[in-house]
């Protein structure tokens, strides 16, 4: 139920804001708006504002919306109102009305990011877990336990890293953009110097070597940075699992597995994944050291055989409250909106030329799933989800497809260059082509949704 409610609320807000952008600018440009609808199909609620010609309604199907304006191309117009018709407004006004919908979504994203920045959010500290064996991070000299102080694309000015999510965003943009990342890290206290003084060093991650096509879990496995540092502790033990059968208990601290010293939760998880049989585990329980024989159960995941023990591994990471001041929070919101927009366009471009997988397209089922998950975490996570989808909606609508706002802007660009509008015959052909492309994209997205859910 939470997933359904969160999904419907998200769609309602994003669609209403998008259509309100069109409506508000249309009114400001002197166009008569006949109807404003959020949702399609039979209206379930309709109302009018005093002294306004517009009928507002909420439709039964919350999968879109529309603003119907007075237009001579869609029906007869009273000669006394011809100056209020959309088609009779100047080219600049028509373009502004069309662009206002996507612009409203992008502006909403800025506000949502800013609200989260101002209110503050608990996020994992930017302390690195042990890198995946053989990964880029391990080859670059990271060992685990380092705190990332600053990060930037190689050659750019270093920026402060406030949380692990900040770091993850730097890595995502760099990997998908084919850029190297430079990190300024502080080693664990006394680790490098032996004198109780934390040593700071620079680490270059050559992520341009990845040729990343997908923004998925495997991308971060190749990078080698899967999560923040946690203790190598056994959490909740599932009944009937390998952990319970071996005698492991909640709060056991794992010190060694075979000949390998275990230093953190990430290394423990990786060791379990790679296990091929029973091994001797050295654990600390209530101040006493014990030896247990543990044999993980082997399971098939993504075509690979991995070990599982049926227990939560690692403690929750240490958290930090990330909060910005009024101006910094707003600026950060604008920057994040811009960065997400650029990354979205780059990914779409890569998918178009075959450099990125079409698996990156997501449809309504995935959006609904993430809406429910983010809402269950808390309102800050839900606002971040709304901001991300709002950016995606804004960018998608600016694509030069005839059925989208971006397609109409292309018509107006043609009109501005040639001095005449697109002919009805060409308009019909382009509309048909645009519908075909959009239906194709929706089919791929829905197929990806079903594949993810069944996988």
Any idea which residues carry the catalytic annotation? 19
- Residue partners of 217: CB distance under 8 A and separation at least 6: none
Matching residue, tokens 């309602």: 12
Alpha-carbon span 249 to 128, nearest angstrom: 26
Q: Output phi, psi for 61, to 5 deg.
A: -105, 105
Residue of 318, 331, 337 whose CA lies nearest to 117: 331
Task: Please answer whether residues 295 and 336 qualify as being in contact, where contact means their C-beta atoms are separated by less than 8 angstroms.
Answer: no
Strands 159-160 and 181-186: unpaired
| Dist. CA 421–CA 408, nearest whole Å | 11
Task: Assess contact for 11 and 385: CB atoms under 8 A.
Answer: no
Backbone phi, then psi, for 424, in 5-degree steps?
-60, -40
Cβ distance 234 to 251 under 8 Å? yes
**Sign of CA pseudo-dihedral 404, 102, 340, 377:** negative
């Amino acid at each position: 139920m939470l997933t359904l409610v969160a999904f419907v609320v998200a769609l309602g807000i994003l669609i209403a804001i998008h259509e309100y952008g069109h409506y508000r600018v249309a009114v400001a440009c002197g166009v008569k708006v006949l109807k404003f609808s959020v949702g399609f199909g039979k209206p379930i609620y309709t109302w009018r504002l005093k002294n306004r010609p517009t009928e507002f309604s909420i439709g039964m199907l919350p999968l879109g919306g529309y603003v119907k304006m007075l237009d001579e191309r869609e029906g007869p117009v009273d000669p006394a109102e011809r100056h209020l018709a959309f088609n009779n407004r100047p080219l600049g006004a028509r373009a502004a009305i069309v662009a206002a919908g996507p612009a409203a979504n992008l502006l909403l994203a800025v506000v949502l990011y800013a609200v989260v920045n101002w209110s503050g959010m608990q996020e994992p500290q930017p302390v690195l877990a042990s890198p995946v064996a053989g990964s880029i991070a391990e080859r670059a000299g990271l060992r685990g336990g380092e705190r990332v102080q600053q990060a930037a694309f190689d050659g750019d000015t270093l920026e402060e890293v406030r949380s692990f999510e900040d770091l993850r965003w730097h890595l995502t943009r760099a990997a998908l953009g084919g850029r190297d990342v430079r990190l300024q890290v502080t080693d664990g206290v006394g680790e490098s110097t032996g004198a109780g003084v934390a040593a700071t060093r620079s680490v270059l991650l050559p992520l341009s070597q990845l040729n990343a096509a997908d923004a998925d879990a495997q991308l971060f496995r190749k990078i080698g940075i899967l999560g923040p540092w946690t203790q190598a502790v056994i959490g909740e033990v599932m009944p009937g699992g390998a952990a319970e059968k071996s005698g492991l208990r909640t709060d056991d601290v794992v010190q060694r597995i075979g000949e390998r010293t275990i230093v953190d939760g990430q290394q423990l998880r990786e060791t379990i994944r790679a296990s091929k049989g029973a091994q001797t585990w050295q654990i600390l329980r209530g101040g006493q050291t014990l030896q247990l024989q543990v044999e993980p159960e082997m399971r098939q995941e993504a075509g690979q055989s991995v070990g599982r023990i049926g227990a939560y591994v690692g403690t929750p990471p240490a958290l930090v409250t990330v909060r910005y001041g009024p101006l910094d929070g707003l600026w950060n919101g604008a920057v994040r909106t811009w960065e997400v927009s650029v990354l979205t366009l780059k990914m779409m471009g890569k998918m178009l030329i075959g450099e990125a997988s079409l698996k990156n397209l997501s449809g309504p089922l995935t959006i609904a799933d993430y809406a429910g998950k983010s809402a269950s975490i808390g309102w800050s996570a839900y606002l971040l989800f709304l901001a991300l989808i709002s950016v995606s909606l804004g960018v998608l609508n600016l694509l030069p497809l005839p059925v989208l706002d971006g397609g109409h802007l292309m018509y107006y660009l043609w009109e501005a260059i040639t001095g005449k509008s697109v002919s009805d015959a060409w308009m019909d052909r382009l509309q048909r082509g645009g519908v075909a492309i959009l239906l194709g994209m929706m089919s791929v997205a829905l197929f990806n949704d079903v594949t993810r859910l069944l996988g």
